[in-house]
Chains A and B, each alone.
Chain A
Amino acid sequence: MSGAHRAAERTRVRRRWSWSRRLTVVGAVLCLPLLAAVTVLLLRDQDAVKVRHARSAAMAAATVTAGDVLSYDYRTLDADVARAQADATGVFAAQYRDTAAALKQQAAQTRAIVQATPSRPGVVSATADEVVVLVFVDQASVRQVAGARTPTTRIDQSRVRMTMTRVGDRWLVSQLAAL
């Protein structure tokens, strides 16, 4: 082969080379923003899975917790209050603590037995760690009012809005309001 022919051949090889090498470099550079985008989307996706789980877990927890917190029996007051306190956190835990003594005194005085039956939970709003749940509560109570011959029974039907907060893998009540 002549020298000129070989030189021309080498030039052609070099040109093919740099075209595919250029593509490779472009591809490698593209990987970086793509990786960033995939990472962000993946994190959002994982958070959404957490929120979905939070909705159902918090609804179930709210139904049980409303019963724990709103039921008590004058014969087992200490245990009942302790159980309610264990389900509470944040603002509601502080509120409950503050009113626990008054509740115990009143319950003992009137020999109160209160049975709260929650039902029909619905999610008002939800994030991965905090879910607001609306629940209907029927409270059946028996009280011995001073001066009355027989105990007073009544059924109160209320609407309770609870903020459930995730603490570890448990859902506790951080706010509770009867509407």
Chain B
Amino acid sequence: MDVVAVRADELGPGDSATGVSSRRGARAAGVVVLVVLAALLAALVVLLLRAHDRSQRADLRDAVLQAARQEAVNLTTLSYTTAKRDVDRIVAGATGDLRQRFAAQRPAEAAVLAQNKSRSRGTVLSAGLSRLSPGTDTAQVVLAVDATVTTETKPGSPQSALKHYRMVMKLHRVDGRWLVSDVAFAGVPQ
């Protein structure tokens, strides 16, 4: 039996000197593995949380653009034959003061459309996200929108014109839905 310098109180019954040092080694290895595991698990949790945040933010970006595009189409797609339903659609996509203004304009809008038998059909050519707030509850979107406007100032001879719009929209997230709180035109519609 080999004799290695070991403290007397470390020796238990049945211990050999080589037994103690290899048990020490095994314990040290165990501690190292535990520390590395703990560190990797912590890193994993942090990275998974960040990935989750990112994916949520990406979904929000898509939702904002989708809502902005839809309301842009609503605003430029109206017909004197379906005025009430068309304005209802616009009101439904808006929030705050803008919503109230659209709602209040319902009868006037219907009258204006009826006057010249106006019809408009809009398409969004492109939409870009200018800003998404860190709290992800407000956003700003710019849109390139074209609309074909048909009017019949002289009965029986409808005239069509292609309009080019540059829209700047502000959106608010309300109960999980993105609604337009402000819409402005950057310049005169061409």
**Chain B residue nearest in CB terms to A32:** B40
Contact at A34–B44, with CB atoms within 8 Å? Answer: yes
Residues A27 and B187 in contact in the complex (CB < 8 Å), given A122-B129, A134-B127, A136-B166: no
Contact at A44–B41, with CB atoms within 8 Å? Answer: no
Chain A residues whose CB sits within 8 angstroms of the CB of B112 once the complex forms: none
Q: Is B175 among interface residues, defined by CB-CB distance under 8 A?
A: no
A10 CB to nearest chain B CB (Å)? 5
Q: Is A129 among interface residues, defined by CB-CB distance under 8 A?
A: no
**Chain A residue nearest in CB terms to B40:** A34
Q: Is B107 among interface residues, defined by CB-CB distance under 8 A?
A: no
Q: Is B133 among interface residues, defined by CB-CB distance under 8 A?
A: no
**Chain B residue nearest in CB terms to A132:** B128
Residues A42 and B26 in contact in the complex (CB < 8 Å), given A24-B33, A159-B125, A161-B126: no
Chain B residues whose CB sits within 8 angstroms of the CB of A122 once the complex forms: 127-130, 140-142
Interface size class of A (residues with CB under 8 A): 35 or more
Q: Is B101 among interface residues, defined by CB-CB distance under 8 A?
A: no
Contact at A44–B51, with CB atoms within 8 Å? Answer: yes
Interface pick from A15-23, A74-82, A87-95, A96-104: A15-23
Contact at B30–A17, with CB atoms within 8 Å? Answer: no
Q: Is B162 among interface residues, defined by CB-CB distance under 8 A?
A: no
Summarize A's interface: helix, strand, loop or mixed. Answer: helix
Contact at A45–B187, with CB atoms within 8 Å? Answer: no
Q: What are 8 inter-chain pairs, A to B, with CB distance below 8 A?
A: A9-B12, A37-B44, A45-B50, A119-B186, A123-B128, A132-B128, A159-B126, A179-B144
Contact at A134–B26, with CB atoms within 8 Å? Answer: no
CB-contacts of B93-116 with A (<8 A): none
10 pairs of A and B residues whose beta carbons are closest in the complex: A122-B128, A9-B14, A134-B128, A159-B144, A41-B47, A122-B142, A27-B33, A122-B130, A24-B30, A34-B40
